[in-house]
Structure 1
Amino acid sequence: MGKSKYTVTLTDDQRSFLEALVHRGKSSASTIRHAYILLHADKPDPEVAELVRCHPLSVFNVRKAFVTQGLDAALHRKLRDESPTPRKLDGAGEARLIQIACSKPPDGRSRWTLQLLADRLVELEIVDTISVKTVERTLKKNALQPHTKKQWVIPPAENGNFVAAMEDVLEVYQRPFDPENPVICMDEQPIQLHAEVREPIPAQPGHPKKQDYEYRRNGVACGFMFTEPLGLWRRIAISETRTKKDWAHQVQHLLEVDYPDAEKVILVCDNLNTHVPGAFYETFPPEKARNLLNRLEIHHTPKHGSWLNIAEIELSVLTRQCLNRRIPTIEALRVETATWNRNRNQAQKGVDWQLTTSDARRKLKRLYPMILES
């Protein structure tokens, strides 16, 4: 595109007009840019493009418009046809597309793709032809993304047991800070131990870190998370197993080491079959088990209500900040989690829980078997 086949020859009047247009600066940016192109049209297209800071094809198009249609066409953008192209999908067509996108995908497919949706619209004779771009724009306009999904613990509707446990936990969260009776949330999660089979290549300027997809499984550990939201404190403990005795020993540590002076610890945890009072009697002599339970007040979150446990939020942060990598041994895992734990406690990070019982009754009405309208 060095020597253009469209040669621009300006008359004196045209050049004077263009120079005045540029110097006044009152026209649109595109008109002034096209005027600059015409004023420098004696130069090769790449040189003009670099001077005007546009694509060489733009220079070519301005030249062509000037030679074939005249000065006015070269300066101004082409006006749209007064009769616009009719929409591919009218209101009814958009409604059918949305219905299809929200339905079960075809057999043999895990999800709807843009091409599958376009093909289905043609197959159902809703349109003769349609591009995937048109389908994409329509879905975007209606905030639909068939290729994505969000996993969530869905609570049961109209379930008295669920709302009873939920409101019990929410009542605990609304209690004021009391160092003599701290509210502690507890949760646990399995942690996979993975070792590298080949040494990763460190990152360098212009190149990300490279890690072989192959790894060696080294078993599973369990992380026990205890956190006091109002006290801005948490403790993560790593265990080889997650039995009743493991849980009982962790709670013993909470009572005798973490909070030895507390009159009673209010413990919020999920209703896993290991989180039961009997675990203390299966782990300790009866006198000790009774003494521990006397200093403990347990509140269980409902089934399918793990989102009510603040300790789950802390575990999520731990996973994102510390565990999202390959850790080969339980010893290394303990070192890494202990460092994370210490730094987060020093930073005084907390959780600002906002949901109250009145909020739940208003926002989660479908969970209640019976609720009175305000």
Structure 2
Amino acid sequence: MDEQPVQLTKETRTPIPATRDRPKRVDYEYERNGTASLFLFCETLVGWRQVAARPRRTKVDWAEEVGRLLRTRYARCEPVTLVCDNLNTHTRGAFYEAFEPAEARAYLRKLRFCHTPKHGSWLNVAECELSCLTRQCLTGRRIGTLAKLRSETAAWSAATNATCRDVDWQFTTEQARINLKSLYPKFKH
């Protein structure tokens, strides 16, 4: 899983639709309408993605999104491996802030955390998928409300899931040993 902030922007003037003689005309001026956070979860081997848009990114928001997946998609799975970066909101304590202690403990018993190395979050496939989402769905568009953002990201997720597109991960162990040499522990002989 990974997350990303998004700026909400809306039109200040109604765009003029395209005609046979002229392309669509959009005024360069826009109005900033706040921010939102996208939480993206993916299963690379089955080609599944889910995007949730929330008004903010807090520990509670993160824990609630993970908890929702554990209650629904992964209700009968144990353990669930969650690959995420070392962000300050991705903590076990977040579950205790979001849920009653018994429920938080139940979620944490199901989870196995796998944190990407510091400065190595690009190893998290969800970060690559956020890049795809941004390029394919958000770039060059003005999305002014959280509801519209949710609608657009849900449509992207559904279309992507319909193709069952997997992730062609080409980073090998040998490449990791070369490229990530500084992250591996050094042993004295």
Query: Structure 1 length as normaliser, TM-score?
Result: 0.48
Corresponding position: 1:336 with 2:152: yes
Cα offset, 1:203, TM superposition? 2.9
Cα offset, 1:265, TM superposition? 0.8
2:72 matched residue in structure 1: 257
Instruction: Determine the C-alpha separation between the residues in 1 that align with 2:150 and 2:144.
Output: 11
Cα offset, 1:213, TM superposition? 1.1
Corresponding position: 1:353 with 2:155: no
Cα offset, 1:317, TM superposition? 1.0
Corresponding position: 1:293 with 2:108: yes
Within 5 Å, give how 1:53-202 maps onto structure 2: 186-202=1-17
1:66 matched residue in structure 2: none
Instruction: Determine the C-alpha separation between the residues in 1 that align with 2:158 and 2:60.
Output: 26
Structure showing greater radius of gyration is 1
Letter in 1 for 2:86: N
Between the two proteins, what is the percent identity of the paired residues? Answer: 58
Cα offset, 1:209, TM superposition? 2.5
Cα offset, 1:367, TM superposition? 5.0
**Residue 210 and residue 275 in structure 1: after superposition, are their counterparts in 2 closer, same or farther (change >3 A)?**
same
Instruction: Determine the C-alpha separation between the residues in 2 that align with 1:369 and 1:340.
Output: 40
Give CA deviations for 1:26-48 in whole Å, capped at 9, x if unaligned.
xxxxxxxxxxxxxxxxxxxxxxx
Instruction: Determine the C-alpha separation between the residues in 2 that align with 1:351 and 1:204.
Output: 39
Query: What secondary structure is seen at the aligned counterpart in 2 of 1:242?
Result: coil
Letter in 2 for 1:361: R
1:268 to 83, 90, 98: 83
Give CA deviations for 1:110-139 in whole Å, capped at 9, x if unaligned.
xxxxxxxxxxxxxxxxxxxxxxxxxxxxxx
Instruction: Determine the C-alpha separation between the residues in 1 that align with 2:66 and 2:166.
Output: 21
Letter in 1 for 2:149: L
2:39 matched residue in structure 1: 224
Query: What secondary structure is seen at the aligned counterpart in 1 of 2:136?
Result: helix
2:53 to 228, 232, 238: 238
**Residue 365 and residue 305 in structure 1: after superposition, are their counterparts in 2 closer, same or farther (change >3 A)?**
closer
Cα offset, 1:207, TM superposition? 3.4
More helix by share: 1
Corresponding position: 1:209 with 2:51: no
Instruction: Determine the C-alpha separation between the residues in 2 that align with 1:197 and 1:287.
Output: 49
Query: Structure 2 length as normaliser, TM-score?
Result: 0.92
1:326 to 142, 162, 177: 142
Give CA deviations for 1:71-107 in whole Å, capped at 9, x if unaligned.
xxxxxxxxxxxxxxxxxxxxxxxxxxxxxxxxxxxxx
Instruction: Determine the C-alpha separation between the residues in 2 that align with 1:341 and 1:266.
Output: 21
Cα offset, 1:259, TM superposition? 1.2
Give CA deviations for 1:341-373 in whole Å, capped at 9, x if unaligned.
1111011111121223332113444555648xx
**Residue 291 and residue 367 in structure 1: after superposition, are their counterparts in 2 closer, same or farther (change >3 A)?**
closer
Instruction: Determine the C-alpha separation between the residues in 2 that align with 1:291 and 1:247.
Output: 16
**Residue 251 and residue 207 in structure 1: after superposition, are their counterparts in 2 closer, same or farther (change >3 A)?**
same
Instruction: Determine the C-alpha separation between the residues in 1 that align with 2:116 and 2:152.
Output: 29
Structure 2: which 5+ residue stretches go unaligned? none
Cα offset, 1:303, TM superposition? 2.2
Instruction: Determine the C-alpha separation between the residues in 2 that align with 1:284 and 1:369.
Output: 37
Q: Is the 8 A contact 2:117 2:183 kept in 1?
A: no
Q: Which runs of 4+ in 1 moved over 6 A?
A: none
Instruction: Determine the C-alpha separation between the residues in 2 that align with 1:261 and 1:215.
Output: 46
- Between 1 and 2, higher relative CO (CA 8 Å, sep ≥ 6) is seen in 2
Q: CA RMSD in A?
A: 1.8
Instruction: Determine the C-alpha separation between the residues in 2 that align with 1:306 and 1:203.
Output: 42
Structure 1: which 5+ residue stretches go unaligned? 1-185
1:22 matched residue in structure 2: none
